[in-house]
Structure formats: C-alpha cells, structure tokens
Amino acid sequence: MSRKAIIIDDERLARTELRKLLQEFPEIEIVDEAANVDEGIDKIDLHHPDLIFLDIQMPGKTGFDLLQEIDRAPHVIFTTAYDEFALKAFEVNALDYLLKPVEPRRLADAIHKFSEVIQKETTGTGEFINRDKLNDNDQVFVKDGERCWFVKLNEIRLFESVGNYAKVFFGPNKPLILKSLNALEERLDEKVFFRANRKHIINLRMIDKIESYFNGGLLVELKGGDKIEVSRRQTVKFKEMMSL
Amino acid sequence: MLYAFFYWSLGITSAKQPHFFAQLLLEAAQGFVLTHIMRGTISETKLLQKNLNNQIVGVAILLMAFSIIYSISNILIELGLHIESPSVAEYTFGNKVIRAAFGCFMWLTIWSLIYFTYHYIIRSRQEEVDKVRLQALVKELELKTIKAHINPHFIFNALNSIRALVDENPERARTAITELSNILRSSMTSDKVETVTLEKELNIVKDYLALEQIRFEERLQVQFHIDEDTLDQPVPPMMLQTLVENAIKHGISKTVAGGHIEIISDFKDNHHELIIRNTGHLNGSANEVGFGIGSTKNRLNLLYGSNASFEIKDISTTEVQAKVILPVQI
C-alpha cells in the first residue's frame, strides 16, 4: 500500500531529480511539491502526508523553521548539499538525511527504514483516526539551540511553562519550544495529558506516586523524580477522571 | 674573571698592602668558584622561571647567603695561609665577617644584575622571533584557506542540478560540466599568481553565475556593464568571484522571490572601479560576510597599500553595493 509523500525544496531541478529517483519506489507516492516553507505548510495541511523530503537551506525560512511551525511532524527525510551543523545534529539524534546528489542506495535504505517504522505505527486502515488531537504515537519536532529531536508524545512526561515557551521533559532532556501551555492543551488528548496547574501539564501515564497536599490539592511524583502540585480546582477534575 | 678585574682596579689604589697579590688571587679564585656555584643553584631551582616578585626575593636571599659564605671562607683561608692584611687583623672575627660580606654583597649584586639583564635581553629577543614566525605561519594558512577556496555547498548543489539536466536538457548539462570544471581549476591555481587580467576573472564569474542560474532559474537576473578597455587591467584572482559569491549567498539566496546582480567595471578619476550591485541587505548577515570583507581588504592592502580601497554598504532598503577601487596599470 502506498504512502503519501511531499517534496519540499526551493530548487526545481532538485525536486525533479528526487522525483526521478523515487520512481523506483512505487510504495511512495509523491502527491505534491513545495518551493518554500509557507507553501510546504499549506501542502502538508492539505494532504496530511506520511513522509516529507525536506531541504534545509531554503530562502527565507529554513527546513527547521517549517518543522517548528507545524504541530505534528510527519516522518522527515532531510536533504542537504552540505551542511556541517545539520549533519552533526542528525547523526547524534539518528535523524535521517540524504546528501545531494542523492545516491540511490542511500535513498533505498532511508525508505526501507521509514516503511518499517510506519508499519508499526498505523492502524489496519493506515489512516489517521482523529485529525484534531495528537495521539500517543505522533511525534513533534523539537529544536533547542544546536540540538534537535523528533519526540513521540508518549515519551514526554511533563510540560512546564517558561514565559512564552514551554519546557518539554523527555528522557534526560528539557528543551524549550515556542508554544503556550494553552495552545498545547488544545491539541493534546486530555485523557493522557492533564493540566495540573497554571504552569504544568503532566502525562498521566508517567505518574509514579500520588499524595495528598495542602488545601485539598495533590502532590504527584512522575517517573524521573519531578514532583508537581495539582491545584485544588484541578484536583477535583483529576479525581473525577480517575475514579471508577 | 670579572672579579679579578674589579679587584685589580681596586687593588691598584691600595697596593701598599702586604700579601696583596696573594689576597687578590684568593679572592679571584673564590669569586670564580662562587659564581659558578651560584649559577648552578639558579638553574637547579629554576629561579628565572618563577614570577618576578619571587625572583627578586630569591635572588636577594641567594646573594646574602653567598656573601656570608664567601666572607667566612675568605677570612678563614687568609688566617690559615697567613695572608691577612695587617690593617684588618685587629678586628674581631664577627667584624671581619661583616665587612667582607658587605663588600662581597656589593660585587655579587652588580654581577647578578649584569647576569640577569643579559638573560632577559636574550630571552625577549628569542620571544620576538618566535612571535613573528608564528604570525607569518598563521597568515600563510589564512591565505591558503581563502584562496584554495572551494565552496562545497555550491559544488554539490551544482552537481545535483547538472545531474537533473542530463535528461531534461543534455546540451545545457554538457556546458554546465565545462563551467564547473573551469571554476574548480581556477580555485586550485589561484594561489600561484598575484594578479590576473579582468577578462580572465570575468570568465570565471560568468561561469559561476551561469551555474547559479541553473539552480535559481528566473530568481537570478544577471547584468554585466563592462568597459572594454578595462578588460586587460590586472586584478587579484578570485576576489571578484568571492564578492559575487557573497552577493548570492547573503543576498539573493535569502529572498524567496530572488533578485538581480549587476557587475560594473569602468575607469573613474584615474582609478579602475569594480562595482557589484545586488538585491539584499547588509544588517542581518554582518558576521558571516565579515570573513570575506576582511580578507578582501587585507589582500588589497598587501598588494596596493593605500592606493586601493574596498567598501560595501546598503544603497537602498533592498540593494547592496560593493565597490573596489584599484590603481590603473598602463
């Protein structure tokens, strides 16, 4: 069954070249192309592709900027002619990238890897069920200074608001993303991600201990040791949700 | 040996003392031995490498110690050999020690001052030489990296475009390969000559812009206004090329709609003027452009001194202009 893909690159010839190479892979269907970030975002919203081939160096906004502007990052294979910084970031975080001119063999490896991953993720029909809310397996792109990651939502245990930003707690990392907690709350499944207080959203699946706290509130300890207070108002909601 | 000299000159004045030459010999010998031991002590304790305050303290202690050793040994030996001067024989032992030590201290201080000053002069000269050598090495490496100047981003993008053209437009692909090969060759040989003719440099620039036009297509408009008489003027190799690359890298490739680049060469006020005007603006990319601007100014300075100049500035909100002024060669 074929997966939908979009090619985003400002050079027409580069897009043509990649299309030509992808003819060898009938399981990948190129549904559209884009020549810059804004076009790219429109096309992604329109087609909801499973995969995008994303050039990094583009005029105006870069490939990274695009990923930070969309909520849910599809699978990404980066393309670049030569970008010292990006290559280091990718190798460290096992992100997939291709060097232009693209070697067919490397392309085959990347597509193979993608096919395996997406096989595990999607349901039988291969369609997204709930378009509006992000589900556990969705990944978000997070960039903090020179480091970047694709993080699955089910790996995130805590969001903490820091001014206009949110700190994302996953593994040993706590990078910042430019999103408010309110905006996040709208996109996250409230059965999994719970707004504990004004400053925190916690992943209910990552709770280790719950204790009573001052004023009718609760103190929740998450895996990894973070202790978060649940405000009194939210405690009422919490108990309703968790009760049998 | 200095000792002998000093004592000799002093001794002339008091030659009436009996045992004079014996004393002189003794003192010279002692001085010789002592100064050698002192030198040994200094290198053993690495006194010269400690910081200045420690050095002064250390030297002072050393001098006093050695003075006392000297005077005690001197007096004892004189007594032993019966070569003491009668004029001093009456003083107590302690008195004699202090007198002799004092005299010795003075001489030792002078000697030490000479010794240390000498060493400092030698050392700072050596440091100067090392510093100059290091600077020369750094400059050489800098120049090599600037000139052997292969821009990987451009090369790989060009190759990718050419590969796409092979099916779409084989003729264009062939000429593009030639253009790329010209640029690579010129990059490699640019450090062998001081200057090239403007004509040669323009050929490279034209090849480069032709390749970039394959990538950017209608997003790059190119115009040349070249006074024919300027074609045989000498210019530093790859300088114009670097400025054009900067114009594309920081100006045109940063704007979504692309832009234009104009290259002008003519004579003005007895100078040869090269102007590059392009879409873009300076403020954002001040840091990255810095390297190219700095090296351009350096090269012009090295070759022509104050007879050449370079400036780059915004001439409107959307345009940047770089101007190189060179002396005219007849």
Residues with Cβ within 8 Å of residue A174, at least 6 apart in sequence: A167, A168
Q: What pLDDT, on a 0 to 100 scale, did the predictor assign at position A19?
A: 95
Q: Which residue of B has its CA nearest to A20?
A: B164
Residues of A in contact with B160 (CB under 8 A): 11, 13-14, 17, 81, 100-102
* Homologous superfamily, domain B152-327: Histidine kinase-like ATPase, C-terminal domain (3.30.565.10)
Q: Which residue of A has its CA nearest to B253?
A: A59
Q: In chain B, what's the furthest Cα-to-Cα distance?
A: 117
Tell the burial category of A76 from Cβ atoms under 10 Å away from its Cβ (0-12, 13-18, 19+): buried
Q: What pLDDT, on a 0 to 100 scale, did the predictor assign at position A130?
A: 47
* DSSP type of residue B285: G
Are residues A60 and B161, on separate chains, in Cβ contact within 8 Å? no
What ipTM does this complex have?
A: 0.72
Going by DSSP bridges, is the β-strand pair B309-314/B319-327 parallel, antiparallel, or unpaired?
A: antiparallel
Are residues B254 and A17, on separate chains, in Cβ contact within 8 Å? no
pLDDT at A107 over 90: yes
Residues of A in contact with B258 (CB under 8 A): 59
Q: What pLDDT, on a 0 to 100 scale, did the predictor assign at position B287?
A: 47
- Residue A21's CB: how many other CB atoms inside 10 A? 17
Lowest mean pLDDT among A46-50, A63-67, B74-78: B74-78
Are residues A82 and B167, on separate chains, in Cβ contact within 8 Å? no
Token pair belonging to A172: 């040993």
pLDDT at A228 over 80: yes
CB contact A104 to B (< 8 Å):
no
Give B315→chain A minimum CA distance, Å. Answer: 21
Give A65→chain B minimum CA distance, Å. Answer: 14
Q: What pLDDT, on a 0 to 100 scale, did the predictor assign at position B91?
A: 66
Nearest to B161 among A11, A83, A99 (CB): A11
Q: What pLDDT, on a 0 to 100 scale, did the predictor assign at position B15?
A: 45
Give A202→chain B minimum CA distance, Å. Answer: 40
Residues A115-164 pLDDT 10s: 988 887 765 444 444 456 777 778 888 888 778 888 888 899 999 999 88
Interface with A, mutate which of B155, B157, B211 (most A CBs under 10 A): B157
Q: To the nearest whole percent, how much of chain A has pLDDT over 70?
A: 93
Q: What pLDDT, on a 0 to 100 scale, did the predictor assign at position B135?
A: 80
* DSSP type of residue A3: E
Nearest to B152 among A20, A82, A101 (CB): A82
Residues B262, B266, B270, B274, CA torsion sign: positive
Q: Which residue of A has its CA nearest to B250?
A: A59
CB contact A12 to B (< 8 Å):
yes
CB contact A19 to B (< 8 Å):
no
Give B152→chain A minimum CA distance, Å. Answer: 6
Are residues B153 and A13, on separate chains, in Cβ contact within 8 Å? no
The answer to whether A37 and A58 have CB atoms below 8 angstroms apart is yes
The answer to whether B263 and B223 have CB atoms below 8 angstroms apart is yes
Nearest to A101 among B152, B156, B217 (CB): B156
Q: Along the 330 residues of chain B, how does pLDDT read in single tens digits?
A: 454 455 544 544 444 455 667 777 777 777 777 777 777 777 777 666 667 777 778 778 877 887 777 777 777 777 776 666 666 666 677 777 777 777 777 877 887 788 778 888 988 888 888 888 888 877 777 666 655 566 788 889 999 999 999 999 999 999 999 999 999 888 877 777 888 999 999 999 999 999 999 989 889 999 999 999 999 999 998 889 989 988 998 888 888 888 999 999 999 989 999 999 999 888 655 544 556 677 788 888 888 888 899 998 899 989 999 999 999 987
Q: How high does pLDDT run on average in chain A?
A: 86
The model's confidence at residue A178, banded by pLDDT at 50, 70 and 90, is confident
Following DSSP, what letter does each residue of B83-148 receive, concatenated?
---HHHHTS-HHHHHHHHHHHHHHHHHHHHHHHHHHHHHHHHHHHHHHHHHHHHHHHHHHHHHHHS
Q: What pLDDT, on a 0 to 100 scale, did the predictor assign at position A131?
A: 53
Are residues B254 and A82, on separate chains, in Cβ contact within 8 Å? no
Interface with B, mutate which of A7, A11, A55 (most B CBs under 10 A): A11
The answer to whether B163 and A17 have CB atoms below 8 angstroms apart is yes
Residues of B in contact with A104 (CB under 8 A): none
Q: Which of B63, B95, B68, B327 is nearest to B195 (CA)?
A: B327
Q: What pLDDT, on a 0 to 100 scale, did the predictor assign at position B177?
A: 94
Q: Which residue of A has its CA nearest to B160?
A: A101
Strands (DSSP E) contained in chain A are: 3-8, 28-34, 51-55, 75-80, 97-99, 139-144, 147-152, 156-162, 165-170, 176-177, 193-197, 200-203, 207-212, 218-222, 227-230
Helix H or strand E segment including B221: strand B220-226
Residues of B in contact with A14 (CB under 8 A): 157, 160-161, 164
Residues of A in contact with B168 (CB under 8 A): 13, 16
Residue B308 and residue A87: Cα distance in Å, rounded?
41
The model's confidence at residue A70, banded by pLDDT at 50, 70 and 90, is confident
Residue B309 and residue B301: Cα distance in Å, rounded?
8
Residues from B in contact with A at Cβ < 8 Å: 152-153, 155-157, 159-161, 163-165, 167-168, 214-217, 253-256, 258
Give B268→chain A minimum CA distance, Å. Answer: 36
Are residues B214 and A101, on separate chains, in Cβ contact within 8 Å? no
Residue B112 and residue B66: Cα distance in Å, rounded?
12
Rounded to the nearest 5°, which phi and psi values hold at A218? -130, 155
- pTM beyond 0.90: no
Domain limits, CATH 3.30.565.10, in chain B: 152-327
The model's confidence at residue A244, banded by pLDDT at 50, 70 and 90, is low
Domains of chain A listed by start with CATH number: 3-121 (3.40.50.2300), 151-242 (2.40.50.1020)
Residue B18 and residue B88: Cα distance in Å, rounded?
12
| B-proximal residues of A, 71-90, CB under 8 Å | 81-83
Interface with B, mutate which of A8, A10, A17, A37 (most B CBs under 10 A): A17
Interface with B, mutate which of A7, A8, A13 (most B CBs under 10 A): A13
